[in-house]
Amino acid sequence: MGLLSKILRTGIVTEPLPAGNSEVVHLIRDIDEESRRLFGRALGIREVDAGSCNGCEVEITGLMSPVYDSERFGFHFVATPRHADLLLVTGPVTRNMEVPLRKTYDATPAPKLVVAVGDCARSCGVFAGSYAVVGSVDRVIPVDVFVDGCPPEPEHILQGILTALRSGRA
């Protein structure tokens, strides 16, 4: 009962889409429409950590939190690329993760999108030139959109997903 009363006290903490004119609001409305058009508003996301410092993962976790609650747009994280429509790749691609990343891409059924999250995914960040690093994500698999930031905020990741959906390569 303690838990129930706490639930009642807390209420819904997901940030509503305010009526204001902020960038984020538009963005989120757009995502809603685009994901509806492309994937019937049901998008399975598979996260692949290709060698990240886990900073980006912390932000991605934020997407699933009650505050951002990406589930309200029909996004959900899945346990296998077979169920996925979009791969969210973080980090510079290390030598050990090169083959797994490629296999993940192959295992995903079409139509599929790839969003590379974080500076490392585009330019390898501080890891550039390391013997352990193969290079940016697009050297291994085709990338639809890069999301910059070290780490990028959850809004920006959402924006990246939106841009990927818009690119309509799927």
Q: Using CA atoms, how far apart are residues 131 and 37, in angstroms rounded to an integer? A: 43
Q: Which of residues 100-119 bind other proteins (CB under 8 A)?
A: 100-101, 103-104, 106-111
Q: How far is the CB of 127 from other proteins (least distance, A)?
A: 20
Task: Kindly tell me which of 41 and 166 has the beta carbon lying closer to other proteins.
Answer: 41
By CB under 8 A, is residue 31 in contact with other proteins? no
Nearest CA-CA partner of 86 in 120, 40, 47: 47
According to DSSP, residue 72 is labeled: G
Q: Which residues of 66-81 are buried (b: 16+ CB within 10 A; e: fewer)?
A: eebebeebbbebeeeb
Q: How far is the CB of 140 from other proteins (least distance, A)?
A: 12
By CB under 8 A, is residue 11 in contact with other proteins? yes
By CB under 8 A, is residue 120 in contact with other proteins? no
Element (H, E) at 96: helix 95-107
Half-sphere exposure of 15 (CA within 13 A, CB side): 16
Q: Give the amino acid at 26.
A: H
Q: Which of residues 50-109 bind other proteins (CB under 8 A)?
A: 66, 69, 71-74, 76-83, 85, 97, 99-101, 103-104, 106-109
Q: List residues near other proteins by CB under 8 A.
A: 3-4, 7, 10-14, 16, 39-42, 66, 69, 71-74, 76-83, 85, 97, 99-101, 103-104, 106-111
